Amino acid sequence: MTNNLVKYLSGGDLRSIADVDKVVSLIKTQTDFEQLFQYLLTDDRLIVMRAADAVEKVTLHNPEYLTGHSQDVINLLNVAVDKELKWHLALIASRLDFSATELGMVWNKLKQWVKDKNESKIVRVNSVQALFELANKNEGFKREFEIIVQEIKAANIPSINARLRKLGIK
C-alpha cells in the first residue's frame, strides 16, 4: 500500500491536489490509515499537504481512525509552518477527543491562528470552524468561543464572516 500512496501524493505543484481522492478511496482499514498518516511527518511539503488533505477527508466520515494520534496532531500543530498543513490540521484536530490538558493546548494554538492577521484566511476560517466544533463538544469553552467570535467579527473579514454565518452565528 505505501508505495501506492506515494505515487498518488506526488507530482505537480502546491496548486494541485494530484490524486488525493484516489488515496481517500484506498483507505479501507486502520492499517491503511496509519500508512497514510506517516506521510504527514515527511519533509516534502507537497506530500505533506496532500496527505493532510487525504487524512482530513478520510476522517470526516471515519474519525475513529485518529484514535491514538492525539499527541501526533498536537505535535504537528506546534511545529506546522506551511499554511497548507495548518488549514487541514485545524479541522483534523476538531475530530479528536483530547484530555483536558491536551484540549487546552489545541484550543490555544487554534485561537492563536484565528487571531493572527498574518495567517492565511483559509487557516483562520478553518480554525474558527475547529474552535466551534470543540466548543460544542466541550461546554467549558463556549463562552471563550463567543468572545473570540466578537473579536474576529470586528475585523470584518468576508471569508470569516461567511463561515460564521454558515455556522449559524450572527
Number of domains present in the structure of the chain: 1
Categorize the per-residue pLDDT at 8 as very low, low, confident or very high, splitting at 50, 70 and 90.
Answer: confident
Would you state the pLDDT for residue 12?
64
Decide if 83 is inside a domain: no
Would you state the pLDDT for residue 35?
96
Decide if 46 is inside a domain: no
Domain span at 114: 98-169
How far lies 159's CA from each of 14, 34, 155, 166, in Å? 21, 33, 11, 11
Decide if 33 is inside a domain: no
Would you state the pLDDT for residue 115?
96
Decide if 4 is inside a domain: no
Decide if 141 is inside a domain: yes
Mean pLDDT, rounded, for 83-88: 95
Decide if 156 is inside a domain: yes
Decide if 144 is inside a domain: yes
Q: What is the pTM of this model?
A: 0.91
Sequence-distant (6+) residues with CB within 8 A of 160 are 121, 124, 125, 128, 152, 153
Decide if 12 is inside a domain: no
Look at 4 and 167; give whichever has higher pLDDT.
167
pLDDT tens readout for residues 28-61: 999 999 999 999 999 999 999 999 999 999 999 9
